[in-house]
Structure 1
Amino acid sequence: MSGHPADPPAAPSLHPAHTVRIPRPLPVERPSQLDLPEELRQLRSELPVAPLAFPDGPPGWLVTGYDHVRAALADPRLSSRRPHLNSHVRASLITSAEMAVLRPSDLLTSDPPEHTRLRRLVAGQFTTRRIHKLAPRIQTIVDNHLDTLAAAPGPVDLMAVVALPVPCLVISELLGVPFADRDQYQRLTTELLSLDRTRDQLLASKAELKNYLLHLIAARREQPSDDLLSGLLHAQAGDPKLTDDEIAALAQLILIAGHETTANVLGLAVLLLLRPPRLWEIVRRRPGLVDGVIEETLRYATVLQFGLLRVAREPLTIAGQPIQTGERVVLHLPAANRDPNRFTDPDCFVPDRPDAAKHLSFGHGPHHCIGDQLARTELHTLLTTMLRCFPALRLATADPGQIPTHTHRVVHGPAQLFVHVTA
């Protein structure tokens, strides 16, 4: 297929043999809160590697098929080193030099051997043994917050009372960030994940969070504890290459990913179980389905809603499409997780789907999410306990389609989720 534009077809079509290969912006408008843009489905079946127009700079490519996205996630020819994580969604408001000062490389924005070095330093904090040791504390945190939910009069926002504070408290304790500071870092997290900030607002938020974490690092150096920040400072003694700026960047990533994604997956899972047809009672009677519900929610309602950005380090070919050195490539996880070539009836939410765990929501390859087991443990504890404690839990609205979700944020999920805990 030629890479040069041709005359427009008589009828709209995305088939490679008939398509005008003009780069188009990333489809982001959802027909409903849990459905993907229709254009993504069409591209996945007819043009799996499509020319993509970026808000600034030259065009790149959008990859939507499961097999192609999975292979690309593990392909060393595609680099994660890029200064602007979301330049496929919004124009880059900050220069590369400014970004280098505000946020040096972390696990999201580095390649081997730098990525290998940083990942090795963090991996020891997320071992299966440590997560199992943390499980009783997670249960206590969940119980306390569900008591608050039960005591609330009238409809209560599940996101504000349970979904956000529980993972926030867990990651705060694991990382060594005072939970008392949660209003500040939750505000900063919201600002950094929003795609409608001005340049000055974004610079201010990034600087404030970095300074907050650097002050915390200095305090932990004086008074170490049994937490991840203290562990990284201990590692720094044997690795002079590990700077305070790098520790702050790692802490920022863990802090944001450790509570925002888990909170929104929980909100989406509850919404999916409570909306018609009501599946809450079915799963309550079959608690063995809980882990399947978690994996299916991760697949069906992928929270990283705009995909991951990569840059070609050298020429390569994806699905027959040549990619040149320096070109940007967006790997669209939500579209891949709804690929009918990988999942039967992918646009249906199936709690007992046997292969749901094959989703790509935690990535694949060297950048596979290092906190996936922690997230699964938290979600399992939350859902299992909620199903047991609140058999009559129901949505406060008669129309689930009116529940607001995040449309201008990197992480998808309910902005609010009001529920009644009793019949």
Structure 2
Amino acid sequence: MTTVASPATVTTADIPNLDPVPTFTPIAEPGPGGLPLIQLPSGHSAVHLTRYADVHKLLTDPTSGRTETNVEGGPSFLPTVMPKELLLNLDAPHHARVRNFVTADYSVAGVERLRPVLDRVIDEGIARLRAAQAPDLFADLVDRVPVTVNCHFLGVPLEDVAYFRPSSRVVQIASHENVPDLVQHFYRVYGYVQELVTGARPVLAGGLIEKFRSERDRAEPPLEEAELTGLFFGSLLGADQNIVSVLTKSLYVLLSAPALWRRLAEEPEIAPQLAEELIRLIPLGNISAFPRIAGRDLETGVGLVPKGTVVYPDAFAANRDPEVFPDPLTIDPDRQPAKRHLQFGYGMHHCMGSALARMEIVAVLTRLAREFPTLALATDPASVPWDDGTVLRRPTALPVRW
């Protein structure tokens, strides 16, 4: 297809409400050795790493981990602790044991088997949009795609969605305003997953829950029920709510900048690289990573970070490092970066659902561009309502016209 001229330059500043208000507070006085410090919502100070090279170094350092932060009174953005069995809370060598167990199923080839389900769900959403008197891209399509695909993937009955999903949203918002309510919703979802793993609730044949229960001996030692529960709890939330958030914001950006949507409509084949550019720039929630404890002395561009220091590897800032991404705030569909963005993490804690997220986001962008080349927001972008939470931050409606 003939390449069209690049659209007028669009930057993140042109998109209302895209960037979150930081949930940390900069500390004016530098730390030992001149290290930049922030105060976390938990009250702890942390070294703030913002350069790509420094964030990448910490994320790929096997000695620097998460376990020591996920404790009562620990340095955290969250108002409460999470179960230690969650994959994002595991450190070496336990993380590798669990991660290696699931790698094949969550790989690019592993999630490709979900393509027919994904295509069907998108077809259904497009039909709803066309039939709606007041079409809402979020409610009619985006909000339904990841949860339906994920239920099929895991073997979760679709009729259970109404039970666990409202609580999943509350858990991801992770508000500090009502911690008892948050904890109640957390254990509603966690207990539900626990019942699926133990067999107290039925699962659908052919899903990962059934498969992993029967194959747990592949791990050495075999995976325990608590470990499977932690694994599937993360997947139930992440492969649904996280993908919804990034997909919704991607479409919000494109429709808030009509020149970008026109470019995609004229060249739907650019969807994969455009999706990567959007993912680079769009933080999942109000944070872009969880704190770590430096497991050794680390030389960084801002000074020596001593062993035992609490560190916040700010992937959001690193993805906008001009030394790695020239004109970093420009949304460039043609960007060919020399290095991979850090939005899915890196190293040990690289998001296991990244292949699934990419597949779903690219598929939705491609189909919508082909079906609705004149798609546009039916309201001022600044008036779009948002959920605004720690891990979940996204528009809650996308009224459209074409």
TM-score, with length taken from structure 1: 0.81
Question: 1:288 and 1:180 mapped to 2: Cα distance?
Answer: 35
Instruction: Report if the CA contact (8 A) 2:55-2:314 is conserved.
Output: yes
Q: 1:113 aligns with which of 75, 88, 93?
A: 93
Instruction: After TM superposition, list the pairs within 5 Å mapping 1:95-174 onto structure 2.
Output: 99=82, 103-154=83-134, 156-174=135-153
Structure 2 equivalent of residue 258 of structure 1: 239
Quick one: which amino acid aligns to residue 250 of structure 1? L
Q: Which residue of 2 aligns with 1:353?
A: 335
2:267 matched to which residue of 1? 286
2: CA distance between counterparts of 1:289 and 1:172?
Answer: 29
Q: 2:355 aligns with which of 369, 373, 382?
A: 373
- Shift in Å, 1:36: 5.9
Two-structure CA RMSD over aligned residues (Å): 3.0
- Number of paired residues? 380
Residue in structure 1 matched with residue 61 of structure 2 by the alignment: 75
1:330-387, Cα deviation, whole Å (9 max, x unpaired): 1111111111111111111112212287211111112222221111111111111111
Q: How does 1:163-312 map to 2 (within 5 A)?
A: 163-196=142-175, 197-219=177-199, 225-239=205-219, 241-308=222-289, 309-312=291-294
Deviation at 1:203, TM superposition (A): 2.0
3-state SS of 1:325 partner = coil
Matched residue, 1:27: none
Where does structure 2 lack aligned partners over 5 or more consecutive residues?
1-14
Corresponding residue for residue 363 of structure 1: 345
- Paired with 2:262 and 2:114, the residues of 1 have a C-alpha distance of 29
Deviation at 1:84, TM superposition (A): 5.9
Contact persistence 2:66–2:90 (CA under 8 A): yes
Shift of 1:264: 1.8
By how many angstroms is 1:220 displaced? 8.0
Higher mean alpha-carbon deviation, 335-344 vs 183-192, is at: 183-192
Q: Specify which of 31, 42, 46 is matched with residue 60 of structure 1.
A: 46
Give the counterpart of 1:416 among 394, 397, 400. 397
State, as a whole percentage, how many aligned pairs show the same letter.
Answer: 27
Is 1:392 the counterpart of 2:374? The answer is yes
> For residues 85 and 298 of structure 1, what CA distance do their matches in structure 2 show?
32
**Is residue 2:303 matched to residue 1:321?**
yes
Query: Alignment partner of 1:78: what SS?
Result: coil
Residues 227 and 52 (structure 1), Cα distance of their counterparts in 2 relative to 1, 3 Å cut: same
Counterpart Cα distance in 1 of 2:114 and 2:180: 39
My pick for the range that moved more, 119-128 or 293-302, is 119-128
Find the residue that maps to 2:103 and give its secondary structure.
Answer: helix
Post-superposition CA distance 1:103-140 (Å, at most 9, x none): 23222011121001110111121233332222122111
Which amino acid is 2:400 matched to? Answer: V
Unaligned runs of 5+ in 1: 1-30
Whole-angstrom distance in 1 between the partners of 2:345 and 2:73 = 17
Cα distance change, pair 330–122 in 1 and its aligned pair in 2 (3 A): same
Higher relative contact order (Cα pairs below 8 Å, separated by 6+ residues): 2
